[in-house]
Amino acid sequence: MEWACYPSSTLDGADGRESGRTRIDERYVCWPLTVEERDACESVLSESRHSVVFPLPNHHIDSDGNQRGFLFECSAKDSVSAMPIGGDMFSLRCLYECQTDGKKSASGCGDALHADALRVFNDRLWFQKTLQAFVAGLGEREERPASFDCISDDHGGSRYTHQAVDQRLWRPSVPARVGLYHAFVRTHTKDAMEHKLFIGVSGHLHMACEELQNLWHDLRQHSMTCEEFLESEECQWLRQATMRNHGRIAHEVAALLGLRVDTRVDMDSASGGERVAMPVVSGYENDMCVDKDSGRVRVSDCACLLPRTTNGVLFEMFPSEGFWLFQGPKDYACDLVYGTVVERDRRVPVLPARTMEMCRAHATGGAHTVRADGSRWFFPDKRFTHELERLGFNRDDGTVHLMPAVQVASG
């Protein structure tokens, strides 16, 4: 999120607005906020007396000088200027499971290794080059990127379907990361380990996100409320289009690499017959919503809003480490293999969704770090895990480590 770091002395001016210092709730931080972080928090809180910010265990200032890793709250009736809107809103990560033929071994537990995973391991160079060529070709397609001129002007769909077909075709946005990830997953009965292969896609719609941020800047001078902004067709379309974007990429990757994933027809596509893959796990790391019960708006950054996240929380590590999947409580009556909604603090219903790259200019003191992929990264430690448990994660539910087989990271 793009929070300007203004000196705290500018927050208690002649306009009488309350200082944000008393509304920075630090109960879930692993280490004290830096001066820059505190100034950034106070700056955004200066826009409304009803706002509060919760820095999360992965709070930090990124390499661009922006505050990351937080939950922000304000009244739904506040001016839209009270909300922090960054250039990667509705950034999303999804996992798509690659299917097998379903044959069982003599032990009844399935093959020791996923057949397609073996194929990848045996010809890794080809898979890596093919995936790199695919990502490089996304930006060269004839269609224009997804933007708000794709939103349908026809609202004739029934109130039951809410279907609104895009005005035009658009090309998928280049993902921040796409690849094949494998993991050993314990079965529901816990008597065996299954080897699984997934397509992972993460990122946001670059042009549409930039348009949303520009729209937010324009509306700051008007009387639109946060609730009206969140319920606008631009916000609703962007959130859904990001999921569709990732589904298109996963479907194309599967077809290109000879993998099988669950798919469906994208009924909102202008083509009328485009197919998208269906994720088994998905989570928006930058999200916002209105809590109708409390009348509050929530904005998360580098964190998943738990009421909107099921089947585990996907935590993005540095590229060479892949992803960690924090599982929720088991419910054997449903098909949520990785658990149901994590038990949560109703006041702070979030869980961190990514680690952080340590920036020299804004290094976080006392953090457990490792050097990987040419940078220094935070590696979750005991303190971090303790804060996850306080937010609702139960270590007894388990964590799945998704290791990269091949992947392409563009940012």
Burial of 4 (0-12, 13-18, 19+ CB in 10 A): exposed
Buried b (16+ CB within 10 A) or exposed e, 150-187: bbbeeeeeeeeeeebebeeebbbbbbbbbbbbbbebee
Both tokens of 380, joined, read 């979750």
The whole-number pLDDT of residue 335 equals 79
Both tokens of 280, joined, read 């088994």
The whole-number pLDDT of residue 337 equals 86
The whole-number pLDDT of residue 177 equals 96
This prediction has a pTM of 0.90
User: 212 and 235 in contact (C-beta within 8 Å)?
Assistant: yes
Of 130, 214, 49, the closest CA to residue 407 belongs to 130
The whole-number pLDDT of residue 10 equals 33
Q: How far apart are CA 55 and CA 39, in angstroms?
A: 13
Which ranges in 282-323 belong to alpha helices (H)?
A: none
pLDDT digits (tens, 9 = 90+) for 73-112: 999 999 999 999 989 999 999 999 999 875 544 334 455 8
The whole-number pLDDT of residue 107 equals 39
Give the residue ranges of the chain where pLDDT is below 50. Answer: 3-20, 104-109, 157-161
The whole-number pLDDT of residue 332 equals 74
The whole-number pLDDT of residue 350 equals 94
Residue 52: strand, helix, or coil: strand
Q: Which H/E stretch holds residue 282?
A: strand 281-284
- DSSP 8-state secondary structure symbol assigned to residue 373: T
Q: How many CA atoms lie within 13 A of 122 on its CB side?
A: 7
Q: How far apart are CA 245 and CA 175, in angstroms?
A: 9
Q: What is the largest CA-CA distance in the chain?
A: 78
Both tokens of 352, joined, read 């961190």
Domains of the chain: which residue ranges? 18-154+161-409
9 in the Ramachandran plot: left (φ > 0), alpha (ψ -120 to 50) or beta? alpha
Q: How far apart are CA 50 and CA 47, in angstroms?
A: 9
108 in the Ramachandran plot: left (φ > 0), alpha (ψ -120 to 50) or beta? left
Q: How far apart are CA 67 and CA 56, in angstroms?
A: 11
Both tokens of 110, joined, read 């399935």
Both tokens of 59, joined, read 């709070």
Both tokens of 38, joined, read 């505190």
User: 287 and 369 in contact (C-beta within 8 Å)?
Assistant: no
The whole-number pLDDT of residue 273 equals 83
Q: How far apart are CA 139 and CA 156, in angstroms?
A: 33
The whole-number pLDDT of residue 190 equals 64
User: 130 and 256 in contact (C-beta within 8 Å)?
Assistant: yes
Q: How far apart are CA 356 and CA 359, in angstroms?
A: 9
